Chains A and B, each alone.
Chain A
């Protein structure tokens, strides 16, 4: 399978500081990719650079087209972006928030969706189990409910690439699993899903590929067990971990600092 998203020598400078250096990737559709690394390694910046939200050096190609040649709207149809904080500034009904996922497709008014757009919204709400919440105001939802609504908004784009920045942070274990399962299901249906996470256990459990960022460089990439090797955990994260295997999935539990 040819890669859907490639990056060649990508570098990003923010406020005069080189945050990302010479990143080269090639990622295929239908994969769930976990992007891990210590705080300040440049994970969020890489995600934003891939989506074209920050200017970068180097070349990024998505679906055979150069990112820079795409208009904002064309980019928005290719990348569904879930930011770290689920900002929802107005007490809008959850339905309207999810419907914003159709914005890149020209459905700018949630009260006038085409049947196709309405179907996409409903599918996304069913996938994240938020149909019951559709009339509730998003500002009155619990943290777990909000994160599911935010995820539904991202799924509703029905983009070939989903970029999710720490979608499981501040969620209880059950909700973490729900979110990761939804993203896993999206990947299984052919979407390229890239997830930033600090949870190495979740990364090992759900990801096909793990990218390890360290100080703006790609320190390792590969299957979870290889990319999160003892050596990498020691060098990049400065931790040791309990490692095992359960139901043919890698189990990694961070254990102690070194």
Chain B
């Protein structure tokens, strides 16, 4: 076999990845148009594009640009950061079952936000909310990796994640328990379910900078994930600063997930599902999975957010509920598939 043939097969794989990426881009664009068009007033994609760029009636412009655009932007951005965080955590821990929600990051972020709301430190539109959510998410991921240690097996990670998300859940419940105002409790309870409804550009401004910063941080580490597939020690011997990498990933995930949770409540399982959907198409290279996982995350959350508007029901279904309802059975399926590795007790 010659150098040419060695490189040709690599080229074929690269072309395939480019096609998948293009298809994902088209899918996300269609979902964005759909998301802008669906609601109490249904608008055709052409009307949506028209209204988006200043055409159409005033009412149509207000509906598309002020009511639905923030929601769609948040759906896109939060879905993307969840997918990216999932892929990054799976790369860091070299484990296909890693994800922010299994490790209690969104739950902890929600606790941080709830604490700030119930203490009356801030209303739901202030900067204190994302900052508290990010701090809590950072603490949770940091604690998880500290408890699990280096080269942790799957069992330890899942158990530590279970403990941390239970703790965050209990702490959130305690805050609600101690709260004297029943309206605040109700508001928090609904907010916890996770939703993109009635979000304004104020919310976009609150969340987007953190999400972008987190995404940039995770993306900047992509090549290190690839070297890490040989284990931490070998990655270090190849010139990867593993300590810095871990800190970057924890910070990136905390920034992105914390920023997202602060405006949407907790939306789970997108980070777990997105990389799995991409592996059969893109391959297992953790660096190459990042962008496709982010786009898949966007597509999943946009689709779920469209679904909650379309599914007929007496009261609103929250998008966070829907992603969990779909995500948890998928997680069970993954466990079944990985049963052999899990049974062996090694990751």
Residues of A within 8 A of B (CB): 48, 51, 53, 71-73, 75-77, 79-81, 83, 85, 87-92, 95-97, 100-101, 103-104, 108-111, 118-119, 122, 125, 131-132, 134-135, 153
Chain B residues with CB below 8 A from A96, complex form = 226, 285
Residues of A within 8 A of B7 (CB): 118
A254–B241 Cα distance when bound, in Å, is: 42
Interface residue from A71, A77, A95, A103 paired with B10 (Cβ < 8 Å)? A95
Q: In the bound complex, how far is the Cα of B1 from the Cα of A131, in angstroms?
A: 7
User: Chain B residue with minimal CB distance to A121?
Assistant: B6
Would you call A122 and B3 a contact (CB within 8 A)?
yes
A83's partner among B227, B233, B287 (CB-CB below 8 A) is B233
A97 to B235, alpha carbons, bound, how many Å?
12
Judging by beta carbons under 8 Å apart, are A87 and B230 in contact? yes
B213-239 CB mask vs A (1 if < 8 Å, else 0) is 000000000010011111101101111
Residues on the B chain within 8 Å of A76, using CB: 237-239
Across the interface, do B236 and A111 meet the contact criterion of CB distance under 8 Å? Answer: no
User: In the complex, A36→B69 CA distance in Å?
Assistant: 68
CA A79 – CA B239 in complex, angstroms?
10
A108 partner, pick from B94, B223, B237, beta carbons under 8 A: B223
Q: Can you name the residue of chain B whose Cβ is closest to the Cβ of A101?
A: B238
Ranked nearest first, the 9 interchain pairs of A and B with the lowest CB-CB distance are A76-B239, A108-B223, A87-B231, A81-B237, A89-B94, A73-B239, A90-B284, A103-B238, A104-B239
- Inter-chain CA distance A253–B284, complex, in Å, is 45
Chain A residue with the shortest CB-CB distance to B347 = A89
Q: A109-B287, A122-B3, A134-B6 are in contact. Are A100 and B237 (CB under 8 A)?
A: no
Tell me whether A97 and B230 are in contact (CB under 8 A): yes
From A71, A95, A100, A122, name the one whose CB has the most chain B CB atoms within 10 angstroms: A100
Q: How far is the CA of A136 from the CA of B232 in the complex (A)?
A: 23
Choose one: B10, B229, B238; the contact of A89 (CB below 8 Å): B229
Chain B proximity of A133: nearest CB distance (Å): 10
In the complex the two chains form, is A111's CB within 8 Å of B13's CB?
Answer: yes
Cβ of B67 < 8 Å from any Cβ of A? no
Asked if B226 and A108 make an inter-chain contact with CB atoms under 8 angstroms apart, the answer reads: yes
Give B223-271 interface residues, CB cut-off 8 Å to A.
223, 226-231, 233-234, 236-241
User: Which bucket holds chain B's interface residue count?
Assistant: 20 to 34
What is the minimal beta-carbon distance from B29 to any residue of chain A, in angstroms?
Answer: 26
| Chain A residues with CB below 8 A from B229, complex form | 88-90, 92, 97, 100
Q: Is the CB of A53 within 8 A of B6?
A: no
Whether A90 touches B240, Cβ cut-off 8 Å, given contacts A83-B231, A97-B230, is no
Q: Is B27 an interface residue (CB 8 A)?
A: no
- Report 5 cross-chain contacts, Cβ distance below 8 Å, ordered by A residue: A91-B284, A103-B227, A109-B226, A111-B10, A111-B14
Q: Which residues of A contact B10 (CB under 8 A)?
A: 95, 110-111
The answer to the question of B286 belonging to the interface, with a C-beta cut-off of 8 Å to chain A, is yes
B238 touches A119 (CB 8 A): no
Tell me whether A53 and B233 are in contact (CB under 8 A): yes
Q: In the complex where A90-B286, A92-B285, A110-B10 touch, is A104 in contact with B238 (Cβ < 8 A)? A: yes
Question: Chain B: which residue is nearest A139 at the CB level?
Answer: B284
Task: List A contacts of B236 (CB < 8 A).
Answer: 53, 72
- In the complex, B9 has a CB within 8 A of chain A: yes
The answer to whether B286 and A103 touch across the interface, beta carbons within 8 angstroms, is no
Task: A48 to B232: give the CA distance in the assembly, Å.
Answer: 13
Does the CB pair A90–B285 fall under 8 Å? Answer: yes
**A104 vs B236: C-alpha distance in the bound complex, in angstroms?**
10
When the two chains form their complex, are residues B240 and A72 in contact, meaning their CB atoms are under 8 A apart?
yes
**Which chain A residue shows the least CB distance to B151?**
A87
A51 / chain B contacts, CB cutoff of 8 Å: 237
Residues of B within 8 A of A89 (CB): 94-95, 228-231
Known: A92-B284, A92-B285, A95-B9. 18 other contacts (CB 8 A): A48-B233, A53-B233, A72-B239, A77-B239, A81-B233, A81-B237, A83-B231, A83-B234, A89-B231, A90-B94, A90-B229, A92-B229, A100-B227, A100-B230, A100-B238, A103-B238, A125-B6, A131-B6
| Shortest Cβ distance from A137 into B: residue | B284
Return the chain B residue nearest A74 by Cβ. B239
Complex CA distance for A119 and B6, rounded to whole angstroms? 11
Q: Which residues of chain B come closer than 8 Å to A97, judged between CB atoms?
A: 229-230
- Taking the closest CB of chain B, its distance from the CB of A78, in whole angstroms, is 11
